[in-house]
Structures are given as structure tokens and as C-alpha cells.
């Protein structure tokens, strides 16, 4: 008999400190009106000094385990998607494992920027399908605020910190119907943090601070809209499904205009699209599980419904997960 993976529980966490658009007006030349019209963002949450990605992941993971009715000891795989790990090593997944008091299960990080959670779901799904794991904790967690140039209005207004998690468990019917993962490294320069451990942090060579994110927003925007349109078609075709078979679109929360363009591609009413960007901005790998948990907890998403999760991010990377919740 085939094994599938299904979502047993979801959880999420946003740090307490809030940075509003009005707060940003005092930091860079921008306005609440511009930010809301161009992005849909009203505010974002920012981790306190000393509050790490693992701290946020731990809260989200604990909530997902509670919702799933599972103990940390039952987990036999931990995958954390993050671009902002606590340490160079050990991985944030290992740090999280220690916090949860689990000893011995496989634990590793995935780095696919904003598509990280979708990649992590794709990997965990394959572990479960092959019988290599029966209960997986999949987390997207970020402290993106640490890699932002707070003088660059083109990026600092967009991003925030947060974490989301799901517990996947083995089941005899889906669950996850398919996952689709892609990348094209040719677009490195459009969205990146230039510095790194191996390359170093050379202020002169990079012309801007290599610790911080650099983005050609307009070009990324166009690529994101086109690419997400294609991934929708690919996902439906792979499953022999029609647009109308999708009950909920749970998109990466990068920009309300990108989300609306994908919804149009699906001929989907915005009432069936989970939009949380206004409340927390773009939290990169945390954004899809944050949106998912919000709509599960407020009762919009119900068992048996068909969900399309999708994301696009630095790399470029992009992907989707189609599932029966």
C-alpha cells in the first residue's frame, strides 16, 4: 500500500515588537500610503535584540505539535527552512531539536530563501513517502530584519520576522498530492546578500554593505508574476485538475499585487486566497506556513479541502505544494 504524508497540525509565531509603516516614515523617505498601495503591507514584526530564529521556530513548533497532538519524541525528522540561521553551525534544525528535547532524529536546514518552506515540504514529503520517516516537523523561520539595510527604502519596508510550522504524518491516503521545486541560479544578482563566510565581506568590491540584502525590486516583481503563473499551470496539469478544483490559494506573502496576479491566473476570487501580508510583511520562508496556520486557526481552511501553496524567492527559486488538508 502507498504511503502519503498529511498535515497533522500547524502553528506559527510572530515576535511581539511591531514596526508600523508610520514608524518607517521616520526612518526613510516613504509613506504609509505608498507602502500599502504598492505592497499591501501595514506593519511587520521585528525580533528583539538577542531573540533568534530558533527562538521563533521553537514557539511555532510547540504550537504545531500541540495542534497535531504529538510529542517531540514522536518526531523522526526535523527540517528548518531559513536564510537567517542562529549560527554558521550547528544548523538551526539541530538547535531546535535540542530545545524540543528530541535526541537522535535526522535534523537539517534548507536554504531556498522565500521558497524555503515549499522546498522543506517537498523534502519531508519524500522522506515520508519512502518510509524513511513517519512524523516530520517542517518549519519556516526567519529574522530577516538582521540582513536588511534600514536606510534602503526599496527593501526595508518589505520584510519582517516570524515563524510557521507544520507536523506531517504518514497516512494511507493524501495529504500531499504533489510538490514541484525549481531554481534558476542565473538571476543571482537581482536578489542577494553579497557577503558570505567563504567569499568574505568586502565593502569596496561590493559598493554597498555586503551584509545586507540587495534587490532590483521591479525586475524581481515581473519574474515572480510570470513564474508563479507557470507553476500554477504545472501543478494543475501534473494532477489532472482544473482551476476550480482548488479551494484555497495559500501564497508566499511578498506583495499583494503579485498575490492578486496569481489569483487571477487561477480565476480565483480573492475570498479564497489567504492574505496575511498586511499584518507581517514578507517573512521569507515563514510566510507560507504563517498564512496557512492563520487560515486553519480562524476556521477558514477545513479538513478535506484542496490547497495550493506556492512561493518565489532568491536564487531564483520557486515551487508549489498541492494537498488535501
Of 33-41, 44-52, 160-168, 229-237, the segment contacting ligand ACO by CB under 6 A is 33-41
Q: In 20-52, which positions are buried (b, 16+ CB within 10 angstroms) versus exposed (e)? A: ebeebbeeeebebeebeebbbbbbbbbbeeeeb
* 154: contact with ligand ACO by CB under 6 A: yes
Interface with ligand ACO (CB under 6 A), residue from 78, 118, 224, 307: 224
User: Of 35 and 133, which CB lies nearer to ligand ACO in the complex structure?
Assistant: 35
Q: Where are the beta strands (DSSP E) in 176-296?
A: 176-183, 191-192, 214-215, 248-251
* 278: contact with ligand ACO by CB under 6 A: no
Q: What is the CA radius of gyration of the chain?
A: 19
Annotation says 252 is catalytic = yes
Interface with ligand ACO (CB under 6 A), residue from 17, 38, 146, 211: 38
Annotation says 94 is catalytic = no
Beta carbon of residue 216, minimum distance to ligand ACO (angstroms, whole number): 8
Beta carbon of residue 59, minimum distance to ligand ACO (angstroms, whole number): 22
Burial of 70 (0-12, 13-18, 19+ CB in 10 A): middle
Contacts of 248 (CB under 8 A, 6+ apart): 272, 273, 274, 295, 300, 301, 305, 306, 307, 308
* 254: contact with ligand ACO by CB under 6 A: yes
Beta carbon of residue 142, minimum distance to ligand ACO (angstroms, whole number): 9
Beta carbon of residue 113, minimum distance to ligand ACO (angstroms, whole number): 4
Contact, 175 vs 307, CB < 8 A? no
* 72: contact with ligand ACO by CB under 6 A: no
Interactions with ligand ACO, residue window 182-201 (CB under 6 A): 191
Annotation says 282 is catalytic = yes
Among 45, 182, 252, 280, which one carries the catalytic annotation? 252
Quick one: which H or E segment has residue 9?
strand 4-13
Peptide bond into 231 cis (omega under 30): no
User: What cell numbers appear for 312 in the block?
Assistant: 518565489
Q: What is the dihedral of CA 140, 130, 179, 86, to 10 degrees?
A: 20
Rounded to whole angstroms, how far apart are CA atoms 197 and 219? Answer: 27
User: Of 5 and 255, which CB lies nearer to ligand ACO in the complex structure?
Assistant: 255
User: Of 224 and 246, which CB lies nearer to ligand ACO in the complex structure?
Assistant: 224
User: Of 45 and 63, which CB lies nearer to ligand ACO in the complex structure?
Assistant: 45
Beta carbon of residue 185, minimum distance to ligand ACO (angstroms, whole number): 14
Of 182-190, 227-235, 286-294, 309-317, the segment contacting ligand ACO by CB under 6 A is 309-317
Contact, 92 vs 54, CB < 8 A? yes
CA atoms within 13 Å, Cβ hemisphere of 71: 5
* 21: contact with ligand ACO by CB under 6 A: no
Beta carbon of residue 285, minimum distance to ligand ACO (angstroms, whole number): 9
Quick one: which H or E segment has residue 226?
helix 217-238
Inter-CA distances, 74 with 67, 169, 247, Å:
14, 10, 31
User: Of 69 and 196, which CB lies nearer to ligand ACO in the complex structure?
Assistant: 196
Q: Give the residue numbers annotated as catalytic, written as ranges.
A: 114, 252, 282
Footprint on this chain of ligand ACO (rule: CB under 6 A): 30, 34, 38-39, 113-114, 153-154, 157-158, 191, 217-218, 220-221, 224, 254-255, 258, 282, 284, 312-314
Amino acid at each position: 500500500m502507498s504511503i502519503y504524508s498529511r498535515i497533522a497540525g500547524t502553528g506559527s509565531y510572530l515576535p511581539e515588537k511591531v514596526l508600523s509603516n508610520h514608524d518607517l516614515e521616520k526612518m526613510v523617505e516613504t509613506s504609509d500610503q505608498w507602502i500599502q498601495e504598492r505592497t499591501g503591507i501595514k506593519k511587520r514584526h521585528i525580533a528583539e535584540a538577542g531573540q533568534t530564529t530558533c527562538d521563533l521556530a521553537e514557539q511555532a513548533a510547540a504550537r504545531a505539535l500541540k495542534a497535531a497532538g504529538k510529542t517531540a519524541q514522536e518526531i523522526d525528522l526535523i527540517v528548518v527552512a531559513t536564510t537567517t540561521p542562529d549560527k554558521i553551525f550547528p544548523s538551526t534544525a539541530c538547535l531546535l531539536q535540542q530545545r524540543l528535547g528530541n535526541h537522535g532524529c535526522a535534523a537539517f536546514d534548507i536554504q531556498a530563501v522565500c521558497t524555503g518552506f515549499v522546498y522543506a515540504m517537498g523534502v519531508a514529503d519524500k522522506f515520508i513517502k519512502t518510509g524513511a520517516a513517519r512524523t516530520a516537523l517542517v518549519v519556516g523561520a526567519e529574522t530577516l530584519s538582521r540582513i536588511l539595510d534600514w536606510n534602503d527604502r526599496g527593501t526595508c519596508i518589505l520584510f519582517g520576522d516570524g515563524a510557521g510550522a507544520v507536523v506531517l504524518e504518514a497516512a494511507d491516503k493524501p495529504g500531499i498530492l504533489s510538490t514541484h521545486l525549481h531554481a534558476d541560479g542565473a538571476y543571482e544578482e537581482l536578489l542577494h546578500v553579497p557577503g558570505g563566510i567563504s567569499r568574505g565581506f568586502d565593502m569596496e568590491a561590493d559598493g554597498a554593505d555586503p551584509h545586507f540584502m540587495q534587490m532590483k525590486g521591479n525586475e524581481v516583481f515581473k519574474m515572480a508574476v510570470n513564474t508563479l503563473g507557470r507553476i500554477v499551470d504545472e501543478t494543475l496539469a501534473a494532477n489532472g485538475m482544473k482551476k476550480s478544483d482548488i479551494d484555497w490559494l495559500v501564497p508566499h506573502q511578498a506583495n499583494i499585487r503579485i498575490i492578486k496576479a496569481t489569483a487571477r491566473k487561477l480565476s480565483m476570487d480573492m475570498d479564497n486566497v489567504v492574505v496575511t501580508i498586511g499584518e507581517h510583511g514578507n517573512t521569507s520562508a515563514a510566510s507560507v506556513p504563517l498564512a496557512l496556520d492563520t487560515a486553519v486557526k480562524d476556521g477558514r481552511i477545513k479538513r478535506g479541502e484542496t490547497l495550493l501553496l506556492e512561493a518565489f524567492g532568491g536564487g531564483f527559486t520557486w515551487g508549489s505544494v498541492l494537498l488535501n488538508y
